[in-house]
Amino acid sequence: MEEIKRMDKSSKIYVAGHNGMVGSAIVRCLQNNGYNNIICMSHAKLDLTNQAATAKFFEEEKPEYVFLAAAKVGGIHANTTYPAAFIMENMLIECNVIKSSYENNVKKLMFLGSSCIYPKTCPQPIKEEYLLVGSLESTNEAYALAKISGIKMCQTYNKQYGTEYICAMPASLYGINDRFDIYNSHVIPSMIIKVHNAKIENIPFVELWGTGTPLREFLYVDDLADTCLFLMQTYQGNDFINIGSGQEISIKELATTIKRVIGYSGEIVFDSSKPDGTPRRVLNNTKIEETGWKPKIDIEEGIRREYEYYLNHVI
């Protein structure tokens, strides 16, 4: 087998999506581990959905390694309201970055996917081989299809051209630099906003979507970043890898934890007329656990850190 390509401290590394939650965590992780030649380009300066602009950037910068963390993301409301934007923008980013990486001899690329790629009702915990064995959850189908396409692009480039493009599928993420928008955020930041506002305004209850019964697995974003660096240095293969905490929590328990961290004394009520999304989603993390990797930050500590970030940097 060909020797695994490993980044040196001086290797030229491009982090696509460095202003996002995942990308910024990867940049922090790289910097904390002594990597000092990191390329970052804001969306205002480089639109990755623009093929010509992306090609020009790669031709000029010639990165050796790429972390593809750029994506259009959002929660159930955003995914169901803007499905065309979610599939189109994400697929354009993936096509442009992967194509330009190949054309400019990038040594290794990591593509970040999502656990929503898996069928709505597949067996739990979810193994990597369950991809495409059933129908997707309708509320995020467009985003999931784009991410599945990104995986297949990496795998087919590896097969046809002998590239070394690897894929990681994280559980639902949260943490520093999360997107805080009451309608277009993921579940944790959306809950933090609602519960915090209720506390400040002395509102007696907070209403949340669904029944509160779905089970989810959450991973703190800095744990993901540590894993991404580890895999970039050690993993070679065409199989993608799940990355999760191995701990699942109901949406109701999650809301209770957020309520406790924020110090809100009101009630949490659920509107069962609104969609729940997938009933249960927890990853089988056997592959990554066999490497010896384990997450460091549990859900309550992670929420505490995210709430502190919200208080100090968002409001």
Count of structural domains, the chain:
1
How many helices (DSSP H) and strands (DSSP E) are in the chain? 10, 12
The answer as to whether 160 is a domain residue is: yes
Distances (CA, A) of 266 to 191, 193, 196, 197: 14, 14, 11, 11
Confidence tier at 2 by pLDDT (50, 70, 90): low
The answer as to whether 49 is a domain residue is: yes
Alpha-carbon span 211 to 294, nearest angstrom = 31
The answer as to whether 56 is a domain residue is: yes
For residues 48 and 96, the answer to whether their CB atoms sit within 8 Å is yes
Percent of the chain with pLDDT over 70: 99
Residues 272-281, mean pLDDT to the nearest whole number: 85
The answer as to whether 65 is a domain residue is: yes
Domain range holding 24? 13-178+218-246+284-296
3-state secondary structure of 268: strand
3-state secondary structure of 278: coil
- Strands 248-250 and 280-281: what pairing? unpaired
Tokens 């007329």 sit on residue: 273
What count of other Cβ atoms lies within 10 Å of the Cβ of residue 254?
Answer: 23
For residues 249 and 302, the answer to whether their CB atoms sit within 8 Å is no
3-state secondary structure of 114: coil
Alpha-carbon span 140 to 152, nearest angstrom = 18
- 157-175 as b/e: b if 16+ CB within 10 A: bbeeeebbbbbbbbbbbbb
The answer as to whether 34 is a domain residue is: yes
Alpha-carbon span 187 to 257, nearest angstrom = 13
Catalytic residue numbers?
143
- Strands 248-250 and 215-220: what pairing? antiparallel
Q: What is the pLDDT of residue 237?
A: 92
Q: Where are the alpha helices (DSSP H) in the chain?
A: 21-32, 51-61, 76-81, 83-103, 141-161, 187-200, 221-234, 251-262, 286-289, 299-309
49, β-bridge pairs: none
Residue 147 phi, psi (nearest 5): -70, -40
pLDDT(24) > 60:
yes
Residue-level length of the chain: 315
Q: Residue type at 23?
A: G
For 161-203, the pLDDT digits (tens) are 999 999 999 999 999 999 898 777 788 999 999 999 999 999 9
For 218-273, the pLDDT digits (tens) are 999 999 999 999 999 999 999 999 999 989 999 999 999 999 999 999 999 999 99
For residues 112 and 94, the answer to whether their CB atoms sit within 8 Å is no
CATH code of the domain covering residue 136: 3.40.50.720
- Written as one string, the DSSP assignment of 186-235 is -HHHHHHHHHHHHHHTT-SEEEEES-S--EEEEEEHHHHHHHHHHHHHH-
∠ CA 281-75-176, rounded to 5°: 90
Tokens 């939650």 sit on residue: 21
The answer as to whether 78 is a domain residue is: yes
The answer as to whether 197 is a domain residue is: no
The answer as to whether 105 is a domain residue is: yes
For 79-131, the pLDDT digits (tens) are 889 999 999 999 999 999 999 999 999 999 999 999 989 998 889 999 999 99
Alpha-carbon span 237 to 68, nearest angstrom = 17
Task: Say what the pTM is.
Answer: 0.92
